Amino acid sequence: MARGAGIAQDELRRVNLGAVLSRVHASGPTSRAALTAELGLNRSTIGDLTAQLAALGLVSEELPTRRGGTGRPSHLVVPRTDVTVVAVLLDVDRIVTALVGLGGVVLARRERLHQRGGHDVEAVVATVAQAVAELQALPEAGRCLGVGVSVPGVVRADDGMVRSAPNLGWTDAPFSALLHTEVGLPVRTGNDANLGVYAEHLRGAAVGVDDVAYVSGSVGIGGGFLVGGQPLRGAGGYAGEIGHLCVDLDGARCRCGAVGCWETRVGENHLLEAAGWLPGGGLPAVDQVTQAAMAGDVRAGAALEEAARWIGVGLRAIVNMVNPEMIVLSGVLAKVFEQRRTTLVGHLRLGGPKALQERLTLVTAALGDDSSLFGAAETAFEPLLADPTTISSPAAHSA
């Protein structure tokens, strides 16, 4: 029941340029013939569009080295990796930065721990700004269009304001604005799970799958949903706060103030404590629990079993509400899934209408811990892909 808005003649070319560039950005070098077929445009239109993208310095056109099939060989349209962005992943214990070229190629990557200032917003901004400057100075940086940032928190879609990031201790932190002032480039900031699902859809476990729930667990639990191939944002861009599903009103109090939130049952630290470990230590500590369980530690085994049960209960809520075709698990949830698949799936499939369970697959994130980092790169490329004509010309840049 989608009701389209009008499309003016002059918008058409912009939309089509974006469609071609998005296609080669996602898939890498693509023949003009394939673009013609996949985008439903005619051959001469595709030729015009790729020529304009080449003139903008966004793609190069190459003759394929090998001929396939009969007839004239079709030119390959190749995304230019000297059009770049910087992707930033803010985590509780580390900051990852990467220089990413058009086509999703990682040209350079840095990882560092938080400074002595800890999670202080100004300190994090300074650290990130330094890393961005370092990457921008590399010869591979070419035309660097902007910075994309992944934050483990609730991020306002309009302006990237970090409304809350409990693990960083941030409330209403204007991280995007502060970083923009430091680096002078456009900065776009998003929630880690929302960025993660997009990256897994573009280049990971969910390629070709349009209805996806990405669920990532560390201390808290984050969710990002793709519905009909589009990110589910919600009114403020805050959708996916699934750590605060109420699953157990007789349970523990959550740091959010409510009782029985899902993340009090399946977060990393709850698992560690249930297994008899001290909280903290992240995924390496979780790995110790799984190794202990495999070695016969009864308490560790029971902790995994219990986590699997509660993960199943929470995923069932997601299935019944948004009807995904695929659930991509990351972090501690992926670890528990690998160890206790039968229990987890059993509790997931326990109830609700059968139709929603039929074609559902569960997988672990193909991009591993980098889903959100790749997603951060994508959010920085987004304005270019929406309208490739906005880029300054290569000549203007090199001048």
Instruction: Evaluate whether 98 touches 112 at the Cβ level (below 8 Å).
Output: no
Minimal CA–CA distance to 227: which of 245, 243, 209, 242?
209
Among 61, 120, 134, 248, binds its own copies (CB under 8 A): 248
Among 240, 282, 301, 331, binds its own copies (CB under 8 A): 240
Class of residue 139 by CB neighbours under 10 A (exposed 0-12, middle 13-18, buried 19+): exposed
Among 57, 86, 379, 384, binds its own copies (CB under 8 A): 379
Among 87, 168, 193, 239, binds its own copies (CB under 8 A): 239
84 vs 379 by CB, closer to its own copies: 379
Among 47, 140, 238, 281, binds its own copies (CB under 8 A): 238
233 vs 397 by CB, closer to its own copies: 233
Class of residue 105 by CB neighbours under 10 A (exposed 0-12, middle 13-18, buried 19+): middle
Residues 6+ apart with CB under 8 A from 335: 283, 286, 287, 290
113 vs 246 by CB, closer to its own copies: 246
β-pairing, 105-113 vs 94-101, is antiparallel
Tell me the closest approach of the beta carbon of residue 295 to its own copies, in angstroms: 30
**Quick check: 208 binds its own copies (CB under 8 A)?**
no
Counting residues that bind its own copies (by CB under 8 A) gives: 86
239 vs 289 by CB, closer to its own copies: 239
For the beta sheet containing 83-90, the strands, ordered from the edge strand earlier in sequence to the opposite edge, are 105-113, 94-101, 83-90, 143-151, 187-191
Tokens at 85, concatenated = 């962005």
Instruction: Evaluate whether 84 touches 99 at the Cβ level (below 8 Å).
Output: yes
Near its own copies in 187-206, by CB under 8 A? 198
**Quick check: 48 binds its own copies (CB under 8 A)?**
no
230 vs 291 by CB, closer to its own copies: 230
**Quick check: 99 binds its own copies (CB under 8 A)?**
no
Near its own copies in 303-342, by CB under 8 A? 313, 316-318, 320-325
Minimal CA–CA distance to 269: which of 207, 331, 337?
331
99 vs 322 by CB, closer to its own copies: 322
Tell me the closest approach of the beta carbon of residue 270 to its own copies, in angstroms: 16
**Quick check: 355 binds its own copies (CB under 8 A)?**
yes
Tell me the closest approach of the beta carbon of residue 224 to its own copies, in angstroms: 11
Instruction: Evaluate whether 214 touches 223 at the Cβ level (below 8 Å).
Output: yes
292 vs 377 by CB, closer to its own copies: 377
Tell me the closest approach of the beta carbon of residue 395 to its own copies, in angstroms: 28
Near its own copies in 119-158, by CB under 8 A? 154, 156
β-pairing, 83-90 vs 94-101, is antiparallel
Cα 143 to the center of its chain, rounded Å: 23
User: 362 has which bridge partners?
Assistant: 327
**Quick check: 5 binds its own copies (CB under 8 A)?**
yes
